[in-house]
Copies of this chain bind each other. A is one copy, B any other.
């Protein structure tokens, strides 16, 4: 059988994307699937689809961090509510595109999400993005410069538009071919699908 590929659309501003990011590499390995990390801008997805962040409903916003903490305990990963929330993640996502061009998609994505969701960093700031780049084994200053290049900006926009065109309305979003899975809480279904346990 041809190896299947997971496209993982991530935005560092999303807590459930952070949670999923901590699990997705092990999941792909268990299922024998490829994994492609694709930055996209969740705010633009919301604009395009009429969806909104959970905290737009006050009672949902009030419950959000309790729920995120439970998942973090379930997975055994650190979490701390950010000082700045929501955060402008455009720079971090552009840097994610540039990191991908150097084969460091996953390492950078994990570093920048851990910085924001567990270490109190304000990832809207160049210094935080540069530090995440260093943690991922990249040259921080060079990555910040690359993040400002037009083709990198265009790629982030194109990823976002493509995800919306394929049906995305939130984050994290996973595609396996035309099959879409939405949410950290769908990892169990994604894995079963990859193992052939769910019919398409």
Q: Give chain B nearest CB distance to A188 CB in angstroms.
A: 7
**How many residues on chain A are close to B (CB under 8 Å)?**
32
Interface string of A160-200 (1 = CB under 8 A from B): 00001001111000000000101101101100110001110
Check if A62 is an interface residue, CB within 8 A of chain B: yes
Q: Are A169's CB and B51's CB within 8 A?
A: no
- Partner among B62, B74, B192 whose Cβ is within 8 Å of the Cβ of A189: B74
* Complex contact B189–A63 (CB within 8 A): no
Which of A52-60, A82-90, A118-126, A132-140 binds B?
A52-60
| Copies of the protein in its oligomer | 2
Partner-contacting stretch, out of A32-40, A65-73, A97-105, A145-153: A65-73
Q: Is A49 an interface residue (CB 8 A)?
A: yes
Contact with A169, one of B63, B164, B193, B198 (Cβ below 8 angstroms): B63
Also in contact, A60 and B189, with CB within 8 A (given A74-B198, A198-B73): no
A19 to B185, CA, bound (A): 15
In the complex, what residues of B have CB within 8 A of residue A71's CB?
A: 189
Known: A62-B167, A167-B63. A189 touches B70 (CB 8 A): yes
B62 contacts A51, C-beta separation under 8 Å: no
Contact A182 B50 (CB under 8 A): no
In addition to A70-B193, A74-B198, 5 A-B residue pairs with Cβ atoms within 8 Å of each other are: A60-B169, A63-B167, A71-B189, A74-B189, A74-B197
| 27 pairs, A vs B, C-beta closer than 8 Å | A49-B57, A49-B58, A49-B60, A50-B57, A50-B58, A51-B57, A51-B60, A57-B169, A59-B167, A59-B169, A60-B169, A60-B170, A63-B169, A63-B180, A67-B186, A67-B189, A70-B198, A73-B197, A73-B198, A74-B188, A74-B189, A74-B192, A74-B197, A74-B198, A183-B185, A185-B185, A188-B188
